[in-house]
Amino acid sequence: MATLKELSNKEILISSGHRACAGCGFPIIIKQALLAAENPVVVACATGCMEVCTTIYPYTAWKVPFIHNAFENSASTLSGVEAAYKSLSRQGKLDKKIDFIAFGGDGGTYDIGFQALSGAMERGHNMLYICYDNQAYMNTGIQRSSATPRGANTTTSPAGTESYGKKQYRKDLSAVMVAHEIPYVAQASPSNWNDLVTKVKKALAVEGPAFMNIIQPCVLGWKYPSDQSIELAKLAVDTCFWPLYEVEEGEYKLTYRPKEKKPVEDWLKRQGRFRHLFKPENAEILKEIQEDIDTRWARLLAKCGEEA
């Protein structure tokens, strides 16, 4: 566990002045993640909001080496960097310990970058991949991704007379990464900063690949006032839509259990993208969404050895 005092003495490796929207969640995620690093960090970033907003010519918000290649390959690009680092270390040309972190949004991680991510994890590169999951393609204007929750209105899963929004449930990518049997997988939220920082520390400390899935509220895509991002991240956790847990060497552990599990409506009704779900004709969909969360939560509790 890190103390706030300890963290406040460290240099913040992402500067202000980037062009993210007011209230955007990812600058907070970057800040918290990089604060956790004990060693010099090299960052690779997929195409997306984070890449675009933090690197507008001729400036950069990053105080660490930063590589952007394409949309689908931040994990592959960083694999090359990490392999070269290992080689240089073996040859005695580098003696510094360096941490490698790849960032990708949900589009660049769950969808187009999935193959690159899976390959990097399987090969066992000593790197941490962080997905900042804002649940749609926000950089191109809110198109559905496989991380978009069921029922969300996006520009390619529009809600209207013929549709209640996205039909499918989101892909449980964290579970897919657990199935890669890598040393460390975790879900985190910027609302629970200490939990997030502690998990990044663990992820960087393990030998081999680590994956973290971090929920990121998006003002434009989720449609809520820009001062409520952290509240919405917290509600995602407290409704058990986004449980905070980690899987170390295959062992599940719940790292935060809400005192009282809130109904998912508390989270949904605060976001414009779910507004249509509260029409009478969509009552059944709301019920199914709650049931799905309950089932997944019960399954997770069992895996973590927690009482139901």
Partner 1 sequence: MPGRKGRDLRLLQGNECCAEAAILAGCTFFAGYPITPSTEIAEILSEKLPQVGGHFIQMEDEIASIAAVIGASLTGAKSMTATSGPGFSLKQENIGFASFTEIPCVIVNVQRTGPSTGLPTAPAQADLMQARWGTHGDHPIVALYPSTVPEVFDLTVKAFNISERLRVPVILLMDEVVGHMREKVEIPHVSDIEIINRPRPDVPPEKYLPYAAGPDGVPPMAPFGTGYRWHVTGLYHDETGFPTTAAPNADRQMKRLYAKIESAAEEITFTSEESLDDAEIVVVACGITARSARRGVRLARERGIKAGMLQLKTIWPFPYGIIGDIAGRVEKIIVAEMNMGQLIGEVERAACGKCEVVGYSRVDGEPIAPAEIVAKIEEV
Is the dihedral angle over the CA atoms 293, 294, 295, 300 positive or is it negative?
A: positive
Q: Is 107 in the site for partner 1 (CB under 8 A)?
A: yes
> Is residue 164 at the binding interface for partner 1, with CB under 8 A as the rule?
no
Q: In angstroms, what CA-CA distances link 16 with 30, 149, 187, 220, 226? A: 12, 31, 26, 20, 17
Q: Which CB, 52 or 206, lies closer to partner 1?
A: 52
What one-character DSSP code corresponds to residue 222? Answer: I
Q: Which two tokens stand for residue 175?
A: 């579970």
Smallest separation, CB 57 to partner 1 (Å): 10
> What contacts 24+ positions apart, CB below 8 Å, involve 80-84?
81/42, 81/44, 82/125, 82/126, 82/127, 83/125
Bridge partners (DSSP) listed for residue 212 = 130, 186
Q: How far apart are CA 85 and CA 25, in angstroms?
A: 31
Q: Which of 38, 40, 59, 140 binds partner 1 (CB under 8 A)?
A: 140
Residues from 259 through 288 that contact partner 1 (CB under 8 A)? none
Nearest distance in Å: CB 275, partner 1: 17
| Nearest-approach distance from CB 14 to partner 1, in angstroms | 21
Q: Does 58 bind partner 1 (CB under 8 A)?
A: no
* 168 near partner 1, rule: CB under 8 A: no
112 binds partner 1 (CB under 8 A): yes
Binders of partner 1: how many residues, by CB under 8 A? 23
Question: Minimum CB separation from partner 1 for residue 47, in Å?
Answer: 6
Shortest Å distance, C-beta 76 to partner 1 = 14
Closest approach of partner 1 to the CB of residue 32, in Å? 27
Give the distance from CA 257 to its chain's centroid.
Answer: 19
Question: 110 or 297: whose CB is closer to partner 1?
Answer: 110
Smaller CB separation from partner 1, 40 or 141: 141
Under rule CB under 8 A, residue 144 binds partner 1: yes
| Residue 70 touches partner 1, criterion: CB under 8 A | yes
Structure-block tokens of residue 106? 């949900």
Q: What is the nearest approach in angstroms of partner 1 to the Cβ of residue 9?
A: 37
Tell whether residue 12 is a contact of partner 1 (CB under 8 A).
Answer: no
Q: How far is CA 71 from CA 68, 117, 185, 213, in A?
A: 9, 12, 22, 18
Residues 6+ apart with CB under 8 A from 286: 151, 265, 268, 277, 278
Please report the DSSP string for 86-117 in residue order.
Answer: HHHHHTTS--S--EEEEEEEHIIIIITTHHHH
Q: How far is the CB of 135 from partner 1 (least distance, A)?
A: 14
Task: List C-alpha distances in Å: 7 to 2, 41, 49, 103, 194.
Answer: 7, 16, 26, 21, 10
Does 72 contact partner 1 by CB under 8 A? yes
Nearer to partner 1, 59 or 86 (CB): 59
Q: What are the residues binding partner 1 (CB under 8 A)?
A: 47, 68, 70-72, 107, 110-112, 114, 137, 140-141, 143-144, 146, 155-158, 160, 162-163
